């Protein structure tokens, strides 16, 4: 995908569909997106999750999770299995050794189901955004098959931030970037080719880690003892662009962002991310990139992400001074919505950012009980699901009206893709 038209979409992982699988509910959701005037469906990583259901600690960076299958017992021919093995020789043997019997057949089933759904969505003008976690899980198929590509004695994390005073101790293996460079980044190239088999555009998680990453001594109880180490920077992405013919990626540039991270993002032409829940901070006036007044065109703006509260939960927990800043912004822009979370949606849609993304929970006005994940808390996350029939036609009509009014519907006012920006 070479261009980002002015458009909008909805974040909803497959596990949050009614029933938590592909199949009829996924097709119904595509129909709802079309009715709502949306152009994008963003999902989380598709790999097998860990025991806490986190898709960011998958047992494979390549395999899709059979638990997402709508028809897990569908017939698979020997010819299909042989063809799949031939097209995926780099990784499928590693996954077979780490998985159960029938692993290849499951991947064939997923490829068929996903291709059918993606084709159905494309016919209706819906493209799919995926997610590439920067790290793999400890003892994953990738970690076990390629120990030479990972460092010993340190694990991944982040320094203290707005989510945690002690940082986040992820515990993932860290890459030995010089070792990967000597092999011309073959593992990363294979991984991203596989990613682009599934998606039109993919968000690269923790983009700042490619400039410098936080390495925590193995065995530490918190991330406080970590230190910054140099990442691969431009060399990796130059190889990716050369081998893949482009960079259809989003830079997840949230957190501790330095000028060097911004320089790499901008030199590659990658769109970055803005999150409205990070705006309206009285302690950071005039310098906050998430402030609507500072939004830029080559960005994706989000009401919130899978790591934040829902818009309603966020608003309900806001201190008075931050609520007043939000209300002042809405008043200045003549946005008059009954519910503050719909005011946030309208702010996102009116942004100059090329793509505006809403959590489905925000469109429905759901509270903190519908939050997808709370960073730093292993259990209790990744479980929220829509109820059958919860996405009503009335909600689609309301969202479509707001989307059309801001020129984000293809064929609507200003929504024909004119003024598109190249990605990569």
Catalytic residue (choose from 307, 316, 404, 416): 307
- Quick count: other Cβ atoms within 10 Å of Cβ 280? 22
Looking at residue 364, the DSSP 8-state letter turns out to be T
Structure tokens at 229: 């180490």
**How far apart, in whole angstroms, are the C-alpha atoms of residue 14 and residue 2?**
26
Give the distance between the most distant pair of CA atoms in the chain: 64
Residue closest to 134 by CA, chosen among 211, 75, 73: 211
Strand runs labelled E in 308-422: 355-359, 421-422
Question: Taking a C-beta distance cutoff of 8 angstroms, is the pair 104, 84 a contact?
Answer: yes
Name residue, tokens 């997402």.
Answer: 68
**Residue 316 annotated to the active site:** no
Structure tokens at 361: 């929970």
Strand runs labelled E in 159-208: 168-175, 201-204
Question: Taking a C-beta distance cutoff of 8 angstroms, is the pair 10, 41 a contact?
Answer: yes
**Residue 50 annotated to the active site:** no
Structure tokens at 185: 């980044």
Residue closest to 249 by CA, chosen among 206, 307, 289, 304: 206
With 0-12 / 13-18 / 19 or more C-beta atoms within 10 angstroms meaning exposed / middle / buried, residue 86 is exposed
In the chain, helix, strand, coil percent, each to 5? 40, 15, 45
**Residue 307 annotated to the active site:** yes
Catalytic residue (choose from 131, 252, 253, 291): 252
Helix (H) or strand (E) run with residue 346 in it: helix 340-350
Residue closest to 172 by CA, chosen among 136, 144, 148: 136
- Quick count: other Cβ atoms within 10 Å of Cβ 188? 21
Give the chain's count of helices (H) and strands (E): 14, 14
Catalytic residue (choose from 94, 205, 291, 329): 205
Name residue, tokens 């990613």.
Answer: 195
User: Would you please indicate which residues are annotated as catalytic (active-site) residues?
Assistant: 205, 252, 307
């Amino acid at each position: 995908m070479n261009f980002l038209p002015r458009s909008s979409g909805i974040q909803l992982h497959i596990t949050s569909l009614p029933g938590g699988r592909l199949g009829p509910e996924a097709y119904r959701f595509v129909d709802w997106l079309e009715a709502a005037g949306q152009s994008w469906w963003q999902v989380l990583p598709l790999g097998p999750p860990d025991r806490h259901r986190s898709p960011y600690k998958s047992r494979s960076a390549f395999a899709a999770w059979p638990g997402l299958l709508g028809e897990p017992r569908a017939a698979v021919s020997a010819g299909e299995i042989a063809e799949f093995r031939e097209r995926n020789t780099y990784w499928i043997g590693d996954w077979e050794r780490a998985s159960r019997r029938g692993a290849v057949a499951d991947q064939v089933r997923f490829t068929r189901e996903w291709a059918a759904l993606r084709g159905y969505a494309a016919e209706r003008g819906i493209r799919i955004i995926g997610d590439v976690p920067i790290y793999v899980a400890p003892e994953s198929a990738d970690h076990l098959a390629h120990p030479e590509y990972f460092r010993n004695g340190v694990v991944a994390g982040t320094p203290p931030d707005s989510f945690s005073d002690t940082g986040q101790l992820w515990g993932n293996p860290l890459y030995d970037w010089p070792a990967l460079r000597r092999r011309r980044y073959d593992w990363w190239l294979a991984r991203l080719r596989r990613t682009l088999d599934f998606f039109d555009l993919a968000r690269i998680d923790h983009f700042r880690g490619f400039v410098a990453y936080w390495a925590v001594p193995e065995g530490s109880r918190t991330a406080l003892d970590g230190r910054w180490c140099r990442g691969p920077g431009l060399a990796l992405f130059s190889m990716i662009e050369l081998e893949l013919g482009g960079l259809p990626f989003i830079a997840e540039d949230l957190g501790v962002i330095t000028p060097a991270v911004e320089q790499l993002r901008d030199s590659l032409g990658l769109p970055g991310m803005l999150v409205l829940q990070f705006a309206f901070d009285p302690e950071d006036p005039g310098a906050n990139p998430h402030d609507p007044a500072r939004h830029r065109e080559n960005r994706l703006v989000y009401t919130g992400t899978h790591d934040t509260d829902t818009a309603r939960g966020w608003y309900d927990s806001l201190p008075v001074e931050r609520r007043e800043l939000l209300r002042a912004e809405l008043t200045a822009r003549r946005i008059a919505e009954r519910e503050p979370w719909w005011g946030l949606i309208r702010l996102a849609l009116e942004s100059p950012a090329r793509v505006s993304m809403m959590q489905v929970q925000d469109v429905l006005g759901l509270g903190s009980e519908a939050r997808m994940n709370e960073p730093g808390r292993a259990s209790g996350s990744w479980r929220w699901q829509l109820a059958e029939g919860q996405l009503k036609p009335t909600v689609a009509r309301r969202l479509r009206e707001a989307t059309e009014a801001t020129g984000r519907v293809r064929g609507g006012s200003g929504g024909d893709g004119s003024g598109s920006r190249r990605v990569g």
